[in-house]
Amino acid sequence: MKNLFDPVNIAGLALKNRLVMAPMTRCRASGGVPTAEIAEHYRKRAAGGIGLIITEGVLVDHPEARADYGEVPYLREDTVEGWRQVVDAIHAEGSMVFPQIWHCGPVVRPGVAGRSVVDEQGNEVVRLATAKDKEELFHAYSHAAEMAPRCGFDGVELHGAHGYLLDSFMRAGDMGFATEIIRETRLKIGPDMPLCLRFSNWRADDMKDTYFNSPAELEQLLKQVIEAGVDVLHPSTRRFWAHPFKDESLTLAGWTRKLTGLPTIIVGNIGLKTAGLVGSGPGSLESLERLLNHDEFDLAAVGRPLITEPDWGRKVEERQFDQITDFYEAAIKEVYP
């Protein structure tokens, strides 16, 4: 029987367990530079039982990379030292860390994308990428990837989900540009660092806009990104137990792993309500462990529960559910004190 808390080797990387901190934007950087507060934030989650940290989205150095989210960190020359203190703090707790390389593209504000989009009044709100745009974007991603080993990161995740830049190109059928970015990233980080791709079948601004509707369509997407150099996959879903296709035999993570055989990260509502971890319901710890033992995933990413409970991993391993500061309850109290 596989266990969430057993050590595991993923793409040549030795992890102390199968738990991952999912990337979550925090807007706490200073002029795009990660701070000591950010380092301590991640250190606490590593010390609290998380084997792999995937950082908040880290922007490439491009004028349209940043949406209106506040102080999001960048991955560029002037942020290397800041990221080194983050990486060192995580490593000191025996955990590993990937940056999630990100460009917001068409999401939130007008910007460059794989296709132009118009609003209800017929006004273009996102402009189609030109050849010059693509060249600038390529160099921005290339530079960010080059910085990752210099910061001491253990691998890299490319954000190719939720309608952001790379996802917008893939949805528009421009897989050539997306795979060009993946190949360049692989070249810059070298053959031995894990390269993860986060992808999704939903967009942040339209959760019903799917672009692969069968295992065969999913396989076509995965085949191309793997040939380009991806060796870890992170299919993003809103509920980890959901079945994406009419054949309800597998989750999206399950299909991804079955079709590729590559290490796969499952994510989506894990532990959002602490009470839901108990028992045998669809979102329970028991159901998650069952999927693990059916080989539907290799790593499990936890997001919002780690905001309120840095020791979530340790407390779940010890079944101290009553000791967890519940994210959902804390959020409700904030809105309705």
Residues in the chain: 337
Could you tell me where the beta strands, DSSP code E, fall in 92-215? 96-102, 112-113, 117-118, 124-128, 156-162, 195-203
* Contact of 204 with 163, CB cutoff 8 Å: yes
* Contact of 153 with 144, CB cutoff 8 Å: no
Which residues make beta-bridge pairs with 232?
196
Could you tell me where the beta strands, DSSP code E, fall in 65-194? 96-102, 112-113, 117-118, 124-128, 156-162
**Rounded distance between C-alpha atoms, residue 58 and residue 78, angstroms:** 13
Could you confirm whether 328 is annotated as catalytic? no
| Phi, psi of 202, rounded to the nearest 5 degrees | -135, 155
Q: Indicate which residue of 141, 164, 328, 336 is catalytic.
A: 164
265-267 vs 232-236, strand pairing mode: unpaired
For residue 155, the 8-state DSSP code is -
| Cα dihedral 320, 326, 328, 332 sign | positive
3-state secondary structure of 188: helix
End-to-end CA distance of the chain: 44
Order of strands, sheet of 52-59, starting from the edge strand that comes earlier in the sequence: 232-236, 195-203, 156-162, 96-102, 52-59, 19-21, 299-302, 265-267
Cβ contacts of 290 within 8 Å, gap of 6 or more: none
3-state secondary structure of 268: coil
- Where in the sequence numbering do the catalytic residues fall? 164
